Amino acid sequence: MQNIQTPEYAIETKNLFIFYGSFPAVSEVNVKIEKQKITAIIGPSGCGKSTLLRAFNRMNDFVPTSYVTGEVLLQGQNLYGKNIDPVEVRRKIGMVFQKPNPFPKSIYENISWGAKINGYKGNMDELVEQSLRSAALWDEVKDKLHESAYALSGGQQQRLCIARTIAIQPEIILMDEPASALDPISTLRIEELMQELKKNYTIIIVTHNMQQAARASDYTAMMMIDDKRSGGVIEFDETKKIFTRPKDKRTEDYVTGRFG
């Protein structure tokens, strides 16, 4: 993927539809995600938030009947273009999942594996330390790097998953409700971490937690299903505006808790 232009956006969708079989689960999405900002995707259950997020790194490819129309542009290049390998897409756009899913290996190997398979040639110890430091986990695990990742708490596991993603040095990090399985203190740590990470990365986060979106994000995309049960982005703006002066009545109802 070479640079065609110098884009001001990290990722941009043009008339994006995501189908499961013949059903458009997500319709007509046109969003421009700012670089080095945190963009939250909010909306009621089943409105296609996760589907949209997964379209950004082609994780939906694993759903047998799914396909997309329209474009997802990363630096001007369509991720669904003919010559694009989804493995390369996922290498550039990392993902953190809803439930912490470390590999059943040691903490060290959790980080080094992604680097190894992607042909990392530098000093592995350094990379592991640096990634764990970036994920604010180093001090807690530096003495047990070779112990099982499963011995960590849920919050630590999720930060390990973030460290694992950082280690392959992606351009964008996708987070699919990364704190929904965690307690409030661990959640707060993840949010603080996100603020730290946005200095270097663009972050897109799906969340059910309205306060989290309001607290932690710079931009917010509000999604809702239409009368044909197909999801779409009904409003996309700075988070401040979405939560204080939404343009759409449905957004206002949702963020004020009157709906959804």
Partner 1 sequence: MNANNHYPQNEDFRRELGGRYRTATIWQGLFLSALLIAIISLMALLYNVVDGAFGFVAFEYKNDPAEFTSTPLAELTQAELATILKDNLSSGAYKKLENETPMKNRSQAELYTLFLERLVQLDTKGTWSMTDSLMNGGKIRAEVAQKYPDANLEFRSWLTPQFLVTPMSSKAEFAGVRTAILGSLWLVGIAILFALPIGTGAAIYLQEYAPKNWATSIIQTNINNLAGVPSIVYGMLGLAIFVRVLEPFTSGSLFGVMDSNGRTILSAGMTMGVLVLPLIIINAQEAIKAVPDSLRQAAYGVGATRWQTVWHHVLPNALPGILTGGILALSRTLGETAPLIVVGASTFISLDPQGPFSKFTALPIQIYQWTTRAQSEFHAIAAGAIIVLLVLLLTLNATAIILRNRFQRKY
Binding site for partner 1 (CB under 8 A): 57, 59, 62, 64, 87-88, 90-91, 94-97, 99, 101-105, 113-114, 117-118, 148-150, 161, 164-165, 167-168
Q: How far is the CB of 148 from partner 1 (least distance, A)?
A: 5
Cα 112 to Cα 36, 129, 161, 200, 243, distances in angstroms: 25, 10, 12, 21, 40
Q: Least CB distance from residue 156 to partner 1, whole Å?
A: 15
User: For partner 1, which is the closer residue by CB, 23 or 259?
Assistant: 23
CB nearer partner 1, residue 112 or residue 186: 112
Tell me how far, at minimum, the Cβ of 127 lies from partner 1, in Å.
13
Alpha-carbon dihedral sign for residues 4, 9, 15, 19: positive
Query: Distance of CA 59 to CAs 91, 94, 118, 129, 174, Å?
Result: 12, 11, 18, 28, 11
Nearer to partner 1, 110 or 220 (CB): 110
CB of 8 vs partner 1, minimal distance in Å: 26
Nearer to partner 1, 61 or 238 (CB): 61
Report the C-alpha gap between 129 and 124 in whole angstroms: 9
CA angle 165, 168, 171 (to 5 degrees): 80
CB of 242 to partner 1, least distance (A): 28
Nearer of residues 111 and 214 to partner 1, judged by Cβ: 111
**Rounded distance between C-alpha atoms, residue 251 and residue 253, angstroms:** 5
Structure tokens at 196: 């730290």
